[in-house]
Amino acid sequence: MRSVRTPEFAGTVFHEVRAKSVLNRVPGQSRMPFEWTVNPYRGCSHGCRYCLAGDTPVLMADGRTKPISALAVGDRIYGTERVESRRRYVTTTVLAHWTTVKPAFRLTLRDGTQLIASGDHRFLTDRGWRHVAGGACADERQILEPGDRLVGTGGFATAPKGGVDYRCGYLAGIAAGHGEPVDPQVLARAREYLTGDESISLPIEYPHVPSEEWHKGFLAGVYDVDGDFAQSRLRIGRTGRTAVPVVAEALRRLGFEYVLEDVGNRSGLYRMRVAGSLGEHLRFLHTTDPAHTGTGELSGVMLRSGMRLSVSMVEPLDLDLTLYDITTGTGDFIANGVVSHNCFARRTHEYLDMDAGNDFDSQIVVKVNAPEVLAGQLRAPRWDRQPVAMGTNTDPYQRAEGRYRLMPGIIRALADSGTPFSILTKGTVLSRDLPLLSEVSRDVPVGIGVSIALVDRELQRNLEPGTASPQARLELVRRAVEAGLPCGVFVAPVLPHLTDSVEQLDALLAAITDTGASGVTVLPLHLRPGAREWFMAWLAREHPNLVPAYQRIYARGSNADARYRRWLGARVGPLLRRHGLDRKADRAADPAEPGWPEGSLTEGTRQDQPVQQEQLTLL
């Protein structure tokens, strides 16, 4: 056994073990609707480290930017990969997205770029990865210091405001460009500007004193006709002699250097090429915001550093701020023009004795040989291919799965043996394996269940720190359905007097309906020992007026009393029918004992059994 601590999971120890068995029989007295389960992890690492302020712009695969707070699972963005001895830009996918509140630091670069991050966050320098500040492992960390040069393009420019001046400039640029725009995005924007604003009419004339916004729109319009951006070159579209001075004036006003290129053939046409490196080309795209930017044009471009990206100052803000992080396929992303790490790979080692008292949230047992051991157990002659459920005790797609990648091998082992299986999760890392799950579902039955507690983002941050946002989980359900997989949703936990109003439940069920989910089960809060003390302390601090009501509802134990459960079932019933979610498999004879949602289990399981929450640690 090896015990591992990493700054990425501060306060958490991973105990890597070689298990003798991972296929476990559910105790005979259990009322669970299946007899077998697989748990590659014991404990859950959803409570994890977080990175950047929500308004930090992230470079998307189409060259535009989006605040990290607005990213969603499945978004295509830029990361990097090492090719031989150099690191280059590549497109990658957002696999998970989450937030928490942590002490914040401000990082200021020589070019004026500022980033707000946690002390645990790392950026790439010309001497390797460096942490923003010290921490629990400060004796081994390499910390950013003044003079360190980061790698990237420099801070991203602000997009135009998009008002009337910009729109008129854009249409004038379309008219000044040579040729006809053919990109559907360009045509749609031009049509929108012409028909959506009564103050704009044809013909579009050049103003006597163009504003800066007009110039931005004009350059975007000329570029959209036949401009191009690829590798280390950005050229504005071709124009005639009369428009060349206007293009040149706009470029000078916005601080761009350019080269005038004669197209030749006595055509009288000219093309402007924006001078400078990738940073200037991105600044042009972000400053002017053309409708057409392409996708993946940076792929293969080599990363660079420079004096203007050197660190001027790192200072604590003495504030706890809401910070965001993502998991990507490359383990990094481009945050406001610099390369940002979202996955810590270096390990420090600590050997210690394990005991049964280790905290569920901070002592994670990782069965590193789980796929191989499971494959061997499934080959045994006595294995009769009964359905296997995963996620009913600990989440197999917790963030630690992004580090250990055990589930693909487990899925393959189950499918190769012809064993039906189901997965229950609230971790969007599952999206990584949707293609594999879709593939094996042609050979064996597969069930997926996702828990989504609420749509109130602020309440979710308080109650479920370190988990993917409700919006990210809704998108996970949508993508699972689009992949041809069944997917049931647990609306759990519903909080009495906090999230059980008709309006809140109706909004959440409407959002779930839009995903195409196979079925829905609504479950009230379950306050098992340990969680009960934490939750009641939170309730007394945040909603003291509700403490007496909760003491009544949970007077007899961990479950809400039967009267509240029946009241909730009666409230939910009409909403389920309204949204077409009242399917036979989801109904329960007793509203106080809801069953498993359709799609969350596989054939061969006792799907009519009520959900036993005390055994669903995940919920």
Give tens-digit pLDDT for 219-237: 999 999 988 887 678 888 8
pTM as predicted: 0.53
Q: In whole angstroms, what is the distance from residue 424 CA to residue 448 CA?
A: 6
The predicted structure's pLDDT at residue 345: 24
The predicted structure's pLDDT at residue 44: 63
Q: Which residues are within 8 A (CB) of 87 and not within 5 positions of it... i.e. 6 or more apart?
A: 80, 81, 124, 151, 302, 303, 339
pLDDT, average across residues 193-217: 85
Cis peptide before 493 (omega within 30 of 0): yes
DSSP letters for 525-558: ----TTHHHHHHHHHHHH-GGGHHHHHHHTTTSS
| Of 468 and 615, more confident | 468
Q: In whole angstroms, what is the distance from residue 610 CA to residue 501 CA?
A: 24
CB atoms within 10 A of CB 537: 10
Q: Residue 211 has which token pair?
A: 């504003």
Task: Tell me the pLDDT tens digit for each residue of 460-511.
Answer: 666 665 566 788 889 999 999 999 999 999 998 899 999 999 999 999 999 9
* Selection from 46, 104, 100, 45 nearest residue 69 by Cα: 100
- Name which of 200-209, 427-436, 571-580 the model is least confident about: 200-209
Give CA separation, 329 vs 55, 73, 96, in Å.
22, 11, 10
Indicate whether 614 pLDDT > 50.
no
The predicted structure's pLDDT at residue 416: 96
Give CA separation, 26 vs 70, 426, 594, in Å.
41, 22, 21
Domain 2-46+349-525+560-615 in CATH 3.40.50.720: no
Q: Which residues are within 8 A (CB) of 139 and not within 5 positions of it... i.e. 6 or more apart?
A: none
The CATH architecture of the domain made up of 52-142+322-341 is Beta Complex (2.170)
Confidence class for position 298, pLDDT limits 50, 70, 90: confident
The predicted structure's pLDDT at residue 467: 63
Indicate whether 138 pLDDT > 70.
no
Indicate whether 615 pLDDT > 60.
no
Indicate whether 352 pLDDT > 50.
no
Q: Which residues does residue 326 pair with via DSSP β-bridges, in sequence order? A: 97
Q: In whole angstroms, what is the distance from residue 488 CA to residue 609 CA?
A: 15
Q: Is 333 exposed, middle or buried (0-12, 13-18, 19+ CB in 10 A)?
A: buried
* Homologous superfamily in CATH for domain 164-288: Homing endonucleases (3.10.28.10)
Q: Which residues are within 8 A (CB) of 174 and not within 5 positions of it... i.e. 6 or more apart?
A: 181, 186, 190, 221, 222, 224, 225
Indicate whether 578 pLDDT > 60.
yes
Residue 115's Cα: distance from chain center in Å?
19
Q: Rounded to the nearest 5 degrees, what angle is found at the Cα of 435, between the Cα atoms of 431 and 438?
A: 110
Q: Residue 284 has which token pair?
A: 């042009």
User: Between β-strands 421-425 and 388-390, what pairing exists: parallel, antiparallel or unpaired?
Assistant: parallel
Q: What is the dihedral of CA 471, 472, 474, 476, to 10 degrees?
A: 170
Q: Which residues are within 8 A (CB) of 478 and not within 5 positions of it... i.e. 6 or more apart?
A: 514, 515, 516
Do 2-46+349-525+560-615 and 52-142+322-341 have matching folds?
Answer: no
- Residues written for the chain: 619
DSSP letters for 176-212: HBSS----HHHHHHHHHHHHS-TT--SSP---SS--H
The predicted structure's pLDDT at residue 7: 63
Residue 195: phi and psi, rounded to 5, are: -105, -15
The predicted structure's pLDDT at residue 269: 85
- Name which of 200-214, 512-526, 541-555 the model is least confident about: 200-214
Between helix 184-195 and helix 212-226 the angle, nearest 10°, is 140
Percent of the chain with pLDDT over 70: 83
Q: In whole angstroms, what is the distance from residue 98 CA to residue 104 CA?
A: 16
Instruction: Name the amino acid, one letter, at 397.
Output: Y
| Of 96 and 23, more confident | 23
Return mean pLDDT, the chain.
Answer: 83
Task: Tell me the pLDDT tens digit for each residue of 475-485.
Answer: 999 999 999 99
pLDDT, average across residues 43-57: 67
Domain boundaries, the chain: 2-46+349-525+560-615, 52-142+322-341, 164-288
Is residue 597 within 8 A of residue 520, CB to CB? The reply is yes
- What is the SS3 assignment for 561? coil
* Selection from 229, 240, 331 nearest residue 280 by Cα: 229
pLDDT, average across residues 400-421: 94
